[in-house]
Structure formats: C-alpha cells, structure tokens
C-alpha cells in the first residue's frame, strides 16, 4: 500500500562576508486532511477538507481520475474544501502545501478512497430538455428515481447558473419531484445551465447520489399572451410589442369542467392534431365528444388548450367551448408555430381559478408561498464579468 507522505522543505540562506548569529527556525506548519490520507472507506457526504495549523495553505491539488476537483480556500487561507461531495467508490489524490514565515514548508501527499453507496439516487427526467429553447416563464423540473428523504441535502447540491441571473428557488411538489421557479420571468435570449451535483450526496439512510448531471437550455424571445374571456379577445406580445390580436371563444361555463381557468398558465406542449374526449362522459351522454383538434397548444393538466376551431360566429362574441380557448384556424396555426414551452398565457374573466399544481401553474403562488416548500437555498454562482 502506498502511504501518505509529509515533507518539510527547508531553504538555506547563505550570507556574504562577515558573520552573524544563525536564526532559529520556527516550527513548521501542520497540514491536516479529512478524510485522512490512506482512508479506504471515506465518507462522501462531507466532501474533502484540508486545513493548515500554524501557517497558511499555499497550494492544494486534489484530483480524481486525472481531473482536478473544484474547491476553494477560506479568506484566512487556512482551510480548503471541495465545492461538492465526493463520488462513491472513487480514488482521490491529494497534494497540499502549507507555509509559515521563517520555517520550512510542509507538504502532505497521499490518496483516499471513498466507500461504495449501499443504495443510489439518480435523475430519470429533466425539464427543459437539454438544448431546448423555451419561454421566459419556464420552470426547471427534476424527477428522481425514488423518494428523497433528505430534501435539504439534495437541494443544496443543485446549481443553476445563467448569463443574466435572476433570483430563484426550488420547491418540492412530491417526494420525487423538485421544481425551480424564478421570482420574475427569465430575461430573454440567454443560456441557463443546471448541474445536479448528486454524486456522494447523502439523500437518506444508506441512500447516496450516484452521478452528477449537467444540462443547458436557452431562453428565447419574450412572448406572452393575454386572454380576456369577457371581451373574447387574445393578444400576443413579443419583446413587449403586440404582434397578433385574435378573436377567441372560451369555456361555456355550464359546468365546472367546462369553465376556463383564470390565472397565469404556461404553454406545456403541443400537437397537431390532438384527440380530445369529454371528461367523465360516456358515448351517448349529453355533451359527449371525441374529436381530433388541429394546432392545439396545451396550457394545463385539466384539458385546456389554445387550439383551432372553425366557429367564427362565436369567436369574439360568445364563450361556447368545453373549457379550451379556440381561435380561427389560421390564427391558431400561427400561435402553434410561434409558441415555445414556457410561454406565459394569462387568462382573466372566469369564476374558476387555476390551481398552482394544475400543469405548470406555478406562477399562481406568490414568491413567499413558493419558497415555503423550499429547503435551505442552494448555492448559485454568478459568472464573472
């Protein structure tokens, strides 16, 4: 077994002519590494910490598989720690140098190996998709392959960086899902990167993150829509300027399910065509329908879409739909073609309020309420300018 090594490096000063009393060197500094060098079953969840006693750290090099491991010194330069947790079942090499004026430098060199994870936690899906271009209201949704007991530990391992950052927070909507929403909409035309530094995170008793995951997405143009169900009009703006006015017909409101929900919706997906079947009704029942609808953009989980319908007699005059917002076929086709997932669609004028957990109705919660289901805030890094 290769053993850890500690070296003291002394520098001799040779004087010129004349003689002087030799200065007695002070005691060299001491370097401590935690987990201890030569550990074979080191914990992963505490990361790696190097400290200097009686001096300051001049250099710390930690690598894994030949790649440097990110970490940082504290302001006193006496403590260095990894930015994130350590990977299970992995070898790390450490070289740390501490200095003190008037004494030899101390160098600690060695390796550690982390223990294997009894059970692992991983991601099974992410929203947005890697490389996707989305609207300014887009949330970040992470789904895990099992329930997360220690949500705070996992949340602290989640990092969001943006070219034009805005304040944001995670909220757990189920034992396996966490959602990130910004306080205000994303600034348009930028790249956002999400990194789940899960490897080595202790998510529960015997449960550890297995691997890290990183993906990036783009925020596109700022397109927003407003729908007034009382005036039967829809207006689409892009980067603050109106680009399309559309006459619409909304839910007839004869029943709860046929009432369009008011609130801040987000476009979620789209299809051309989409099969729509009346909820809770059998064939032959009053108001039963089973239709293929063109250019349908979904805005909730309760069956609401903005879609095409050739009933121009009602559009702009009367609400006659089964809860969706329908528009003239050519205008609905335009909206379908120009929509990105995460575009806000704000609907007003009905008696039914959009629930925050209906689809991506996350903007229905105030910022204060959104943060109530967050664990301690994760670290976010702002790029240097």
- d(CA 158, CA 39) in angstroms, rounded, equals 28
Catalytic residue among 197, 295, 322, 324: 324
Give per-residue burial for 27-49: e unless 16+ CB within 10 Å, then b: ebbebebbbebebeebbbbebbe
CA dihedral for 315, 320, 325, 331, sign (positive or negative): negative
What's the rounded Cα separation, in Å, for the pair 251 and 231?
Answer: 13
Q: Rounded CA gap, 228 and 331, in Å? A: 16
How far out from the chain centre does Cα 282 lie? 42
Contact (Cβ atoms closer than 8 angstroms) between residue 279 and residue 358: no
- The tokens describing 287, both together, are 């108001």
In degrees, rounded to 5, the angle at the alpha carbon of residue 307 between the alpha carbons of residues 143 and 245 is 115
Residues 85, 157: contact at Cβ < 8 Å?
yes
What is the bridge-based pairing of β-strands 105-113 and 123-127?
A: unpaired
Active site residue 17: no
The catalytically annotated residue of 197, 307, 322, 357 is 307
Q: Is 324 a catalytic residue?
A: yes
Q: For the sheet containing 213-219, what is the strand order?
A: 133-134, 213-219, 190-196, 158-162
Q: 301, 305, 304, 295: which is closest to 360 by C-alpha?
A: 301
101: Cβ–Cβ under 8 A, 6 or more apart, which residues? 26
Q: Do the beta carbons of residue 179 and residue 170 sit within 8 Å?
A: yes
Catalytic residues: 307, 324
């Amino acid at each position: 077994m290769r053993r850890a090594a500690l070296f003291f490096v002394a520098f001799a000063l040779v004087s010129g002519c004349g003689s002087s009393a030799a200065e007695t060197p002070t005691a060299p500094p001491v370097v401590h590494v935690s987990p201890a060098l030569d550990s074979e079953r080191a914990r992963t969840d505490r990361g790696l910490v190097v400290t200097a006693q009686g001096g300051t750290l001049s250099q710390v090099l930690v690598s894994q598989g030949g790649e440097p491991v990110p970490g940082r010194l504290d302001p006193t330069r006496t403590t260095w720690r990894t930015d994130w947790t350590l990977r299970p079942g992995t070898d790390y090499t450490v070289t740390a140098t501490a200095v003190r004026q008037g004494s030899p430098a101390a160098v600690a060199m060695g390796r550690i190996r982390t223990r294997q994870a009894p059970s692992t936690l991983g991601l099974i899906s992410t929203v947005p998709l890697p490389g996707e271009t989305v609207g300014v209201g887009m949330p970040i949704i992470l789904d895990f392959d099992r329930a997360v007991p220690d949500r705070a530990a996992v949340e602290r391992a989640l990092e969001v960086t943006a070219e034009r950052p805005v304040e944001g927070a995670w909220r757990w909507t189920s034992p396996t899902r966490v959602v990130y929403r910004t306080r205000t909409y994303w600034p348009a035309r930028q790249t956002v990167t999400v990194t789940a530094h899960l490897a080595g995170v202790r998510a529960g008793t015997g449960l550890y993150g297995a691997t890290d995951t990183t993906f990036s997405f783009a925020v596109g143009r700022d397109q927003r829509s407003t729908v007034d169900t009382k005036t039967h009009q829809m207006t689409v703006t892009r980067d603050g300027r109106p680009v399309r006015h559309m006459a619409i017909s909304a839910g007839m409101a004869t029943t709860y399910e046929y009432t369009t929900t008011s609130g801040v919706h987000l476009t979620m997906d789209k299809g051309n065509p989409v099969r729509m079947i009346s909820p809770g009704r059998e064939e032959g029942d009053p108001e039963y329908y089973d239709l293929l609808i063109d250019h349908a953009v979904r805005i909730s989980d309760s069956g609401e879409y903005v879609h095409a319908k050739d009933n121009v007699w009602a559009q702009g005059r009367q609400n006659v739909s089964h809860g969706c917002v329908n528009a003239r076929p050519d205008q609905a086709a335009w909206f379908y073609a120009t929509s990105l997932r995460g575009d806000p669609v704000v609907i007003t004028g009905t008696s039914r309020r959009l629930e925050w957990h209906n689809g991506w109705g996350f903007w229905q919660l105030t910022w204060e309420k959104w943060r109530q289901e967050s664990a301690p805030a994760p670290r976010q890094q702002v790029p240097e300018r």
